[in-house]
Structure 1
Amino acid sequence: MQEVLSRATTLEEVQTFVEDLRDVYDLEHLVYHSVNSTGGQYAALTYDQEWVQRYLEQGYARIDPVVQGCYRKFQPTDWKALDWSAKGARSFLGEAVESGLGNQGFSVPIRGPSGQFAVVSVNHKCTDDTWANFTGERAADLLLISHYLNEKALQIEGNPERGPTRALSPREKDTLCLLASGANRANIAETLKISESTLRVYIESARFKLGATNTTHAVAMALTHGLIVV
């Protein structure tokens, strides 16, 4: 899927990618929504357009626990961990479900350059156990895809992708490559024959050079810029 997205040159192609990815993962919906520092917005999503129009007309972003929760968070969040206790939030959820949204959701908040903020959300109709298995197996993929989507949308909209401020060292590349392939930190340290504390130094150094907001973002940027190959 990364290769498909890398070939996209228009926002329409990003929309098509989102629709195809929804089908690949057999989800109800997949959404990418970005807001830049001046309030400009872009969204690639699979929601019914009537629901999108209703959402915008009612200004539901003000009460949507997913939007409000992700704006305060840096880590991926399961929707059930958000606060749905307010009457307005419960009413909003009921209306969303009636409009075709599933009972399960998972969102990845992203902080981009110059104050840009984005969210990637996936949504499904299934049991808690089925959803827990899905997110447990796919969380790492969703994190990387979310950052790929954001980097590509920024590139197409005319915001240059942020390249590394300095070249990555061979050890930093090895570290990011192993992270991208799904290895955990203990296994990476063992493979590279270094301590986990030394590994943390390589990761933080790579993040700084890439201008990445977190480790997953660093891996995504390294892949996007062709600095590592998995």
Structure 2
Amino acid sequence: MDQDLLAFIHRVERAETIETLFDCVKDIRRIFGVNHAIYHSIQWHGETFALATYSAEWHEYYGGEQLYLIDPVVINAFKRFHPYNWKSLDWDTRKGRKLLQDAITMGVGNQGLSFPIRGPNGELALFSVSHNADDETWQKFIEDHRADLMLIGYFFHKAARRLVISRDLGDPVALSPREMETLTLLALGLNRATIAQNLQISEHTLRGYIESSRIKLSANNTTHAVSSAMARGLISL
């Protein structure tokens, strides 16, 4: 391994503050010659912890419009285990096309590469880099740097878990098989009547499973319970 890269990984691994870890995220741009880099946990306890080099304008727009709910980059983190090129994702919806065009306009870049990361307790995070480049140049970049970036993503998550995520997670939670089935079907977008029919239970019983799951997960509402269960690795799509 290149000595400069090894030294950078050691910096990430030894980071003692979020500020130091953020400095490392910013240095990704210089080391790999990309426009931006971002590490973020996905909907951790209903919120997102992120370290990103994007502009304040993009942060405000993306968060204010809750674009993570329809962003193919984020959605695919729940479905995939291997790195993915943003060009391989499905942007062929009105909202998806607008999101992609707005990202390009606000300087995120027309290309991107993301690395889904699953931690030892099932937590989910995503490490990404983005840039402005033609397809051929970007494909060469992926071939040259994918392995190094995957390794760096792992060490970013390890440091973030030590500094933030483990503290936020709290005590372990155990859901019953029926509670996990219920939250999984809710995460897939089914309504309560359909879920009750699929599980062959009454809607009253279903409400009981939802409420008990919410209490166990210390969630404010059903949506919060679903996102928390996904973040903890208790359910998956």
Q: What's 1:133 paired with? A: 140
TM-score (norm 1): 0.66
Q: Please, which runs of 5 or more residues in structure 1 have no aligned partner?
A: 161-230
1:81 equivalenced with 2:92 (yes/no): no
Q: Secondary structure at the match of 1:148?
A: helix
Q: Please, which runs of 5 or more residues in structure 2 have no aligned partner?
A: 1-7, 168-237
Q: What's 1:24 paired with? A: 31
Structure 1 residue 146: deviation in Å? 0.4
Deviations along 1:39-80, whole A, 9 cap, x unmatched?
343111100011111101101011111011222111100001
Amino acid at match of 2:70: I
Mapped contact 2:13–2:156 kept (Cα < 8 A): no
Higher mean Cα deviation, 27-36 or 86-95?
A: 27-36
Identity of aligned residues (%): 37
Query: How is 1:69-218 mapped onto 2 (pairs within 5 angstroms)?
Result: 69-157=76-164, 159=166
Cα root mean square deviation, aligned: 1.5
Amino acid at match of 2:52: L
Whichever of the two has the greater Rg, that structure is 2
For residues 14 and 108 of structure 2, the distance between their equivalents in structure 1, rounded to whole angstroms, comes to: 30
TM-score (norm 2): 0.64
Mapped contact 2:72–2:89 kept (Cα < 8 A): yes
Mapped contact 1:70–1:77 kept (Cα < 8 A): no
With CA pairs under 8 Å and 6+ residues apart, which has the higher RCO, 1 or 2?
2
Q: Secondary structure at the match of 1:122?
A: strand
Structure 1 residue 128: deviation in Å? 0.8
Mapped contact 1:37–1:115 kept (Cα < 8 A): no
Residue correspondences, number: 160
